[in-house]
Chains A and B, each alone.
Chain A
Amino acid sequence: MIVRILGQAPTDTELAMYSVMWSEHCSYKSSRVHLARLPTEAPHVLVGPGENAGVIDVGDGIAVAMRIESHNHPSYIEPYQGAATGVGGILRDIFTMGARPIALMDALFFGPPDDARSRYILDGVVRGVAGYGNAVGVPTVGGQITFDSTYRSNPLVNVFCLGVLPISRLVLSSASGVGNLAVLLGSATGRDGIGGVSVLASAGFAEADAAGQSTKRPSIQISDPYEEKRLIEACLELLEAGLVVGIQDLGGAGLSCATSETAAHARLGMDVDVSRVPRREPNMSPVEVMTSESQERMLAIVTPESLAAVQEVCDRWEVAATAIGVVTEPDAAGIGRLRILDGPGGEVVADVPASSLADDAPRYERPLAPPADLVERRADDPSRLPAPSDPGGDLLELLADPAPVYRQYDHQLFLNTVIGPGEGDATVLKLAAPGLPWEGKALAMSVDGNPGWCAVDPRAGTAATVAESTLNVSCAGAIPLALVNCLNLGNPEHPEVMWQLSEAIDGMAQACEALAIPVIGGNVSLYDESGGCDIDPTPVIAVVGLLGRIVRKPPVPGWHPGDSLVVLGPPPGGLAGSRWARSVAGCAGGVLAPVDLVSHRELCRFVRELVAREAEDDDPPRLVRGLHDVADGGLGVALAECARASRTGAEVDGIADHGGLFAELPARVLVATRLPDELSRLAAGAGLGARVIGVAGGARLVVHGLVDLGLDELDTASGGIAAALEVRPLV
């Protein structure tokens, strides 16, 4: 195929460039045909999938940019650097668009904490996120952490970033203007991360990797958050001053990607003198320079007249800036060519059509097939299991307080955090940033993924994940505006994995269409396998919503003594896919209860308006005193989390059995209210179910016939993550 494009055999440099650019990681060659089924359009979408980040218009001339990306394999090989460079990479995707990054969130998935290697990875990843995010000066405001044996040899580290910008500053990665200069900003180029996208991100792990004897460690990049901090400030200053015509970050596939994509977007060519690229090490070959994934680098397209001014800004921020190339006319056939020269007028080591690297990667229609034992798996429903003898004990097993993780992250910088990590169903931030004063609006965001649901049914499970994320931002009173996603899956050469991919995309498309949420960006992480064993499919969904006006903190999970507890929404559904079935009872089969998406949209609207109405009221809230969505762990975990958050117990009846306690249908909201009758009446008016299940008070969580636990027991049982990280209170 390459020979057909070039008309001759490729040089070493050309072959290396195609190798990285056509890797699964960069080209989405296995997933592209399926991704086309996702709804991506809405009037407020300014930039959809395909650019560095999705961008939406949030009114008043302000836009929000967002993206999520995986750094799974690097984090397994070298947890600290893998996670840290994941943070650095996603930040560059955001400020490349002209946006100031104001928030990071992570979805982290590890093996069980009783496994020593999983603890080591957990600790390293959390330190990496903290070490980079804190120092680079972008707060980590939320996320999710899941422990499950499917991630024992393949943890998942998905990093989400959100930035804000004046719409006038929005820039795309295009090398327009023949004669303009390609200026490399930031770090010198070293031998780290060579071929990372192909060696690491586009292949599974073998036995040696699983044993920690990895030969892949040299493909990991090394991070420098201080370099990135200066790069952010310099780039935003350059963009604000209008000194660059296009800009692109150097991530996967390094210079090969940045030069070819910027040229291809402008339908022009580019001559790059590889000898001008500043290097960390002597004797690097053009192949190494073009495929290195050294971090903290950007490629800016600059007019020759602006070069001196660009240099001045970069000098002040101590950021190296080197003109390494020039934008060229298309050739006689109208094709923009990317030429790599070794020295001025030197040997041409590569000469390829720029768009062939960026756009012409092969697209595979890989075979797909449901698992051979699908019928048996679906017949193995947890409803056939005997009732647990001690449902309270089972509930304790499902509790985990993530505070020891998020307390290592700066989650308050920029003074925007209204609801931070661990506080609510969604994170809520004021819509403001340095240079963009707060005008009264706020953003709500939630990142969610659930291997239990998606293992049982990737289609309904992904739809349920979208439903949960949407409900979370609705519980903060926000209107959901956009979604980005990261699909973490096994080896696409396995037909079962391609089936999971296809099903997950269909489920996401169904939910997004029903809930009217456009998908504005995504990332597909394939080859999440180890020793030939694929992980359970793990689509991670991030939904962002807008609150038009915020005057008081939205309600969070919790209650006050004397509050009535009401569950809004349909009956709980079955136990298939629940954490109780999967982790406690060891049953991974059954049929997942689907979320009714039509009534879910109504539930989201109802909850949003309820919260918004309370927020306008001057008096202490009576209708909604606290609320919590019911999802992972079911109503039992929701009750326990509310009890812990408010240091108050509750007395609950009307939950018939362990099914009612642990089923997870994410279409329900637990509300604490002083006005249960009015709440029920309003819900009935909206066609929604509402059931009073109990009253808050005392120091014990009592669910008649099932659970009777003291707050201290709930606290102790929630300490698993602290124990895994060996975080001890000081004495």
Chain B
Amino acid sequence: MTAEIGIIRFPGSNCEWDVARALSALGASTEIIWHGADSVGDVGAVVIPGGFAHGDYLRPGAIARFSPVMRAVADFAEEGGPVLGICNGFQVLTEAGLLPGALTRNVGLRFICRTVECTVESVSSVLTGRGMRGEVLRLPINHYEGNYTCDAATLAGIEAAGQVVLRYRENPNGALHAIAGVANREGNVVGLMPHPERASDPLGVGTDGVVLFESLLVAAEEWQSAGRRSEPAEAAS
């Protein structure tokens, strides 16, 4: 079977096509879901892509969390469905309370677009299931607000529980513990600042992002074949 991935589009999103292109190249079928939708449908996973949802007005993600589709995304996540937030999507997920912590402005107060090295810190998430602990990935970052922060208790908690899934080898933005990506406790909701879709082409930055998207597709297929949201008859078709 082929995994179906729903990609959320807010007004101001801009990485939705890129995520679709990279996932399609791996055999997935993708569907763009408008932020005003009240359901995510029967997808195997939801991706909130990068960009500037609602213009990042107030602060990134602050308005997007109120878009109607976020209720459906929260329900989907609650049921255990795989949810991935990339860059602005990560910011949206923290604002929506689906991931711990917050993304503040980069130390140095500048937008940063460059390729950085990240270490896979945990393989128990829908983003890193196919990776290897300690593996180093070269991934592009592209953000002004990627400086991960949270309170001391949360930090200790996510470190202890293995929720830090990616860590920068050289901290580009001042993030606490050089955190580049975190998961929820269950591992089905993940956010990261780097853009895996930008590392999916040998003619571009390279292909180190593929292992992350492959992990997501495996999780999506498992979720879909488990049929938790479909009647058996529908699943058989």
Contact B54 A130 (CB under 8 A): no
Q: Is A364 an interface residue (CB 8 A)?
A: no
Bound CA–CA A730/B17 (angstroms): 33
Give the residue of A135, A552, A727 whose beta carbon is less than 8 angstroms from that of B55: A135
B206-228 interface with A by 8 A CB criterion: none
Task: Name the CB-closest residue of A to B25.
Answer: A415
Task: Name the CB-closest residue of A to B18.
Answer: A415
Contact A727 B110 (CB under 8 A): yes
Given A407-B113, A730-B107; A412-B204 close (CB under 8 Å): yes
B1-44 interface with A by 8 A CB criterion: 11-12, 14-15, 17-18, 21-22
Task: Name the CB-closest residue of A to B52.
Answer: A135
Bound CA–CA A414/B114 (angstroms): 15
Contact with B along A276-298 (1 / 0, CB 8 A): 00000000000000000000000
Contact A410 B142 (CB under 8 A): yes
Q: Name which of B148-156, B157-165, B195-203 contacts chain A.
A: B195-203
Bound CA–CA A70/B204 (angstroms): 30
Q: Is A409 an interface residue (CB 8 A)?
A: yes
Bound CA–CA A430/B31 (angstroms): 24
Bound CA–CA A407/B116 (angstroms): 12
Give the residue of B21, B107, B113, B200 whose beta carbon is less than 8 angstroms from that of A410: B113
Q: Is B205 an interface residue (CB 8 A)?
A: yes
Contact A137 B203 (CB under 8 A): no
Q: Name which of A9-17, A196-204, A223-231 contacts chain B.
A: A223-231
Q: Residues of B contacting A727 with CB < 8 Å?
A: 108, 110
Contact with B along A609-641 (1 / 0, CB 8 A): 000000000000000000000000000000000
Nearest-CB distance from A79 to chain B (Å)? 15
Nearest-CB distance from B109 to chain A (Å)? 10
Nearest-CB distance from A677 to chain B (Å)? 31
Contact B14 A415 (CB under 8 A): no
Q: Is B184 an interface residue (CB 8 A)?
A: no
Contact with B along A6-45 (1 / 0, CB 8 A): 0000000000000000000000000000000000000000
Contact A229 B14 (CB under 8 A): yes
Q: Residues of B contacting A414 with CB < 8 Å?
A: 17-18
Q: Residues of A contacting B14 with CB < 8 Å?
A: 137, 229, 413
Contact B11 A230 (CB under 8 A): yes
Contact A408 B12 (CB under 8 A): no
A390-440 interface with B by 8 A CB criterion: 406-415, 417-418, 430, 434
Contact B203 A412 (CB under 8 A): no
Given A135-B56, A415-B21; A552-B112 close (CB under 8 Å): no
Bound CA–CA A412/B200 (angstroms): 12
Given A135-B52, A230-B11; A415-B204 close (CB under 8 Å): yes
Contact A418 B203 (CB under 8 A): yes
Task: Name the CB-closest residue of A to B197.
Answer: A415
Chain A: interface size category: 20 to 34
Bound CA–CA A229/B15 (angstroms): 13
Q: Residues of A contacting B55 with CB < 8 Å?
A: 135, 224-226, 229
Nearest-CB distance from A348 to chain B (Å)? 39
Q: Residues of B contacting A131 with CB < 8 Å?
A: 111
Q: Residues of B contacting A413 with CB < 8 Å?
A: 14-15, 18, 142
Bound CA–CA A229/B171 (angstroms): 31
Q: Residues of A contacting B204 with CB < 8 Å?
A: 412, 415, 417-418
A169-201 interface with B by 8 A CB criterion: none
Bound CA–CA A134/B107 (angstroms): 19
Give the residue of B57, B171, B198 whose beta carbon is less than 8 angstroms from that of A226: B57
Given A135-B52, A135-B55, A730-B108; A415-B113 close (CB under 8 Å): no
Give the residue of A230, A233, A406, A730 whose beta carbon is less than 8 angstroms from that of B172: A730
Task: Name the CB-closest residue of B to A131.
Answer: B111
Bound CA–CA A317/B11 (angstroms): 7
Contact B54 A226 (CB under 8 A): yes
Q: Is A553 an interface residue (CB 8 A)?
A: yes
Nearest-CB distance from B137 to chain A (Å)? 16
Contact with A along B166-206 (1 / 0, CB 8 A): 00001111100000000000000000000101101101110
Nearest-CB distance from A141 to chain B (Å)? 11
Chain B: interface size category: 35 or more
Contact with A along B45-80 (1 / 0, CB 8 A): 000000110111100000000000000000000000
Given A412-B142, A413-B14, A415-B22; A134-B111 close (CB under 8 Å): yes
Q: Is B81 an interface residue (CB 8 A)?
A: no
Q: Is B140 an interface residue (CB 8 A)?
A: yes
Bound CA–CA A407/B144 (angstroms): 11
A539-557 interface with B by 8 A CB criterion: 550, 552-553
Q: Is A318 an interface residue (CB 8 A)?
A: yes
Contact A415 B140 (CB under 8 A): no
Give the residue of B108, B172, B195 whose beta carbon is less than 8 angstroms from that of A728: B108
Task: Name the CB-closest residue of B to A435.
Answer: B17
Q: Residues of B contacting A728 with CB < 8 Å?
A: 108
Nearest-CB distance from B174 to chain A (Å)? 7
Task: Name the CB-closest residue of B to A234.
Answer: B11
Contact with A along B130-143 (1 / 0, CB 8 A): 00000000001010
Q: Which of A229, A410, A728 has the most CB of B within 10 A?
A: A410
Contact A229 B112 (CB under 8 A): no
Bound CA–CA A233/B14 (angstroms): 11
Nearest-CB distance from B10 to chain A (Å)? 11
Nearest-CB distance from B72 to chain A (Å)? 18
Q: Residues of B contacting A407 with CB < 8 Å?
A: 112-114
Give the residue of B51, B108, B195 whose beta carbon is less than 8 angstroms from that of A137: B51
Bound CA–CA A227/B218 (angstroms): 38
Q: Residues of B contacting A233 with CB < 8 Å?
A: 11
Bound CA–CA A130/B55 (angstroms): 14
Q: Which of A230, A317, A415 has the most CB of B within 10 A?
A: A415
Nearest-CB distance from B49 to chain A (Å)? 11
A196-240 interface with B by 8 A CB criterion: 224-226, 229-230, 233
B75-132 interface with A by 8 A CB criterion: 107-108, 110-114
Given A727-B108, A730-B171; A552-B12 close (CB under 8 Å): no
Contact with B along A504-538 (1 / 0, CB 8 A): 00000000000000000000000000000000000
Q: Residues of B contacting A318 with CB < 8 Å?
A: 11
Nearest-CB distance from B207 to chain A (Å)? 12
Nearest-CB distance from A125 to chain B (Å)? 14
Nearest-CB distance from B124 to chain A (Å)? 29
Given A137-B52, A730-B108; A412-B11 close (CB under 8 Å): no
Contact with B along A628-669 (1 / 0, CB 8 A): 000000000000000000000000000000000000000000
Contact A408 B111 (CB under 8 A): yes
Task: Name the CB-closest residue of B to A126.
Answer: B110
Q: Residues of A contacting B17 with CB < 8 Å?
A: 414, 434
Contact B113 A411 (CB under 8 A): yes
Q: Residues of B contacting A434 with CB < 8 Å?
A: 17
Q: Residues of B contacting A130 with CB < 8 Å?
A: 110-111
Contact B12 A226 (CB under 8 A): yes
Contact B12 A229 (CB under 8 A): yes
List 12 A-B residue pairs with CB atoms under 8 Å apart, sorted by A's residue number. A131-B111, A134-B52, A134-B144, A137-B14, A225-B52, A229-B11, A317-B11, A409-B113, A410-B113, A415-B21, A415-B201, A730-B171
The 8 closest A-B pairs by CB, nearest first: A226-B55, A137-B14, A434-B17, A135-B52, A408-B111, A130-B111, A415-B18, A418-B203
Task: With A135-B12, A226-B55 given, name 4 new contacts (CB 8 A).
Answer: A134-B113, A317-B11, A409-B113, A412-B113
Interface positions of B (Cβ within 8 A of A): 11-12, 14-15, 17-18, 21-22, 51-52, 54-57, 107-108, 110-114, 140, 142, 144, 170-174, 195, 197-198, 200-201, 203-205
